[in-house]
Amino acid sequence: MNAFLDPAGPLPPSIYWRRRAIVLVLAILVFSGIWTLFSAFNAGTTPAPVASPTAGTVVECNSTDISLRAETNQESYAAGEFPKFSMTITNAGTTACTLEVGTDKQKYVIMSGSDLIWDSTVCQVSPQPFSQLFEAGQSLTTDAVEWGRARSDNCDNGTPAVGGGASYQLTVYVGEIQSTEAKQFMLY
């Protein structure tokens, strides 16, 4: 006969069956414990993802690291020519950073002496936000903005109100950051 199915010995068969059940339960517990340890060990050795600039770890630019330069498409404009302005934004810092540079943060200001001629935010329609990543030392130039020669207080009229051989200075802003030098140009 089979010794496993028909226990033989001085004790009653029920004791041998209990012993076999206990050994089986212990074997299952030991196996599941080893499996749990193995799984935990493997989970602990999985390499953690490395943060990258595109993973949202890039910090906002420090305003002292950003420089702005006002740009005109010409040095002088004949009667009827409309100037086009842009700005070059440079991250002079040593690390990558993000800066809000949308049209909702850009501002172009034209002065003639102490006279405010035009502020682009006064006549602006539908400004849009935009966040730009700047690598260390990177410069970007914005899209050109055309000025129709109207003063800020003459937005709705659309009739050019300035010109006649005068000198003007363009200063640009991104938020509170201002260009260090004004760009001079002439209107005829």
Average pLDDT of adjacent 10-residue blocks, the chain of 188 residues:
67 79 78 69 45 64 97 94 96 96 96 93 90 96 92 71 85 97 95
Task: Tell whether 92 is covered by a domain.
Answer: yes
d(CA 68, CA 167): 21
Are residue 110 and residue 63 in the same domain, yes or no? yes
pTM over 0.85: no
Are residue 134 and residue 181 in the same domain, yes or no? yes
Cβ partners under 8 Å of residue 73, min gap 6: 83, 84, 85, 86, 144
Task: Tell whether 53 is covered by a domain.
Answer: no
- Please give the pLDDT value at position 38: 63
Are residue 68 and residue 139 in the same domain, yes or no? yes
- Output 115-118 pairs: Cβ under 8 A, ≥24 positions apart: 116/152, 117/151, 117/152, 117/162, 117/168, 118/147, 118/150, 118/151, 118/152
Are residue 173 and residue 80 in the same domain, yes or no? yes
d(CA 177, CA 113): 21
- Please give the pLDDT value at position 41: 54
- Please give the pLDDT value at position 25: 75
- Please give the pLDDT value at position 74: 97
- Please give the pLDDT value at position 130: 95
Are residue 43 and residue 117 in the same domain, yes or no? no
> Domain tally for the chain?
2
Q: What radius of gyration do the chain's Cα atoms show?
A: 37
Q: DSSP letter at 167?
A: E
d(CA 140, CA 88): 6
Closest residue by Cα to residue 70 from 106, 124, 121: 106
Domain that holds residue 44: 1-48
Are residue 124 and residue 172 in the same domain, yes or no? yes
Are residue 1 and residue 23 in the same domain, yes or no? yes
Task: Tell whether 54 is covered by a domain.
Answer: no
